[in-house]
A and B are shown apart, each in its own frame.
Chain A
Amino acid sequence: MRVSATERTLNYAILIGFSLIVLTPVASILVAAFGPANASAAREGAFHPGNFATAWVEGRFGQYMGTSVLVAVIVVSLAVLLSILSGYAFGTMSFRGEQVLFYLFLLGIMVPAEAIIVPLFFDLRTFGLTDTVWAVALPQVAQSVAFGTYWMRAYFKSVNPSIMDAARVDGASKGRILISILVPMGRPAITTMVVLMFMWTWNEFLIPLVMSPSGEFRTAPLGLAFFQGQYTQGTALLAAAAVMVALPVVVLYFLMQRHFIKGMLEGAVKE
Chain B
Amino acid sequence: MRALPRASSTIGAPGRHTARQGLAITPYLFIAPAFIVYALFMLYPLARAVHLSLYDWDGLSLATFVGTGNYTDILADTRLRAAFGHAGAFIFFYAVLPCGIGLVLAAVLTRAKVRGLALFRTLVFLPQVIAMVVVSVAFKQIYAPDGLLNSVLRSIGLDGLTRAWLGDYVFSLPAVGLIGSWVSTGLVTVLLLAGMARIPAELFEAARLDGAGAVREFLYIIVPSVRAELTVALTLTIVASLKTFDLIYMTTSGGPGSSTTVPSYEVYRRAFETGQVGSAAAIGVTLTVIIFLVTLAVNRVSERGA
**Interchain CB contact under 8 A, A93 and B27:** yes
**Interchain CB contact under 8 A, A8 and B114:** yes
B141's partner among A19, A118, A239 (CB-CB below 8 A) is A239
Contacts of A120 in B (CB 8 A): 41, 45
* Residue from B34, B49, B239, B285 with most neighbouring chain A CB atoms (10 Å): B34
Proximity string of chain B (3-35) to chain A, C-beta cutoff 8 Å, 1 when within and 0 when not? 101100100000000000000101110110111
A162 to chain B, nearest CB (A): 7
Contacts of A107 in B (CB 8 A): 43
Contacts of A18 in B (CB 8 A): 105, 120, 124
Contacts of A246 in B (CB 8 A): 130-131, 134
Interchain CA distance A231-B252 in the complex, whole Å = 16
Given known pairs A85-B34, A162-B5, the reply for A210 and B137 (CB within 8 Å) is no
* Interface: B201 (CB within 8 A): yes
**Interchain CB contact under 8 A, B34 and A149:** yes
Given known pairs A82-B34, A108-B38, the reply for A114 and B243 (CB within 8 Å) is yes
* Interface: A1 (CB within 8 A): yes
Given known pairs A1-B111, A82-B34, A141-B41, the reply for A205 and B245 (CB within 8 Å) is yes
B37's partner among A82, A115, A203, A242 (CB-CB below 8 A) is A82
Question: Which chain B residue lies CB-closest to A99?
Answer: B1
Number of contacts between A and B (CB, 8 Å)?
285
Given known pairs A110-B295, A115-B49, the reply for A15 and B120 (CB within 8 Å) is yes
Label chain A's interface by main secondary structure.
helix
Interface size on A (CB < 8 Å)?
99
Contacts of A235 in B (CB 8 A): 141, 144
Across the A-B interface, the 9 shortest Cβ-Cβ residue pairs = A119-B48, A142-B41, A115-B284, A86-B34, A89-B30, A116-B45, A82-B34, A205-B246, A203-B131
5 contacts between A and B (CB under 8 A): A3-B111, A15-B116, A114-B283, A249-B131, A264-B128
Report A's interface with B, CB cutoff 8 A. Answer: 1, 3, 7-8, 11-12, 14-15, 18-19, 21-26, 28-29, 32, 78, 81-83, 85-86, 88-90, 92-95, 98, 101, 104-105, 107-108, 110-123, 138-139, 141-143, 145-146, 148-149, 157, 161-162, 164-165, 168, 174, 199, 202-203, 205-206, 209-210, 221-222, 224-225, 228, 235, 238-239, 242-243, 245-246, 249-250, 253-254, 257, 260-261, 264-265, 268-270
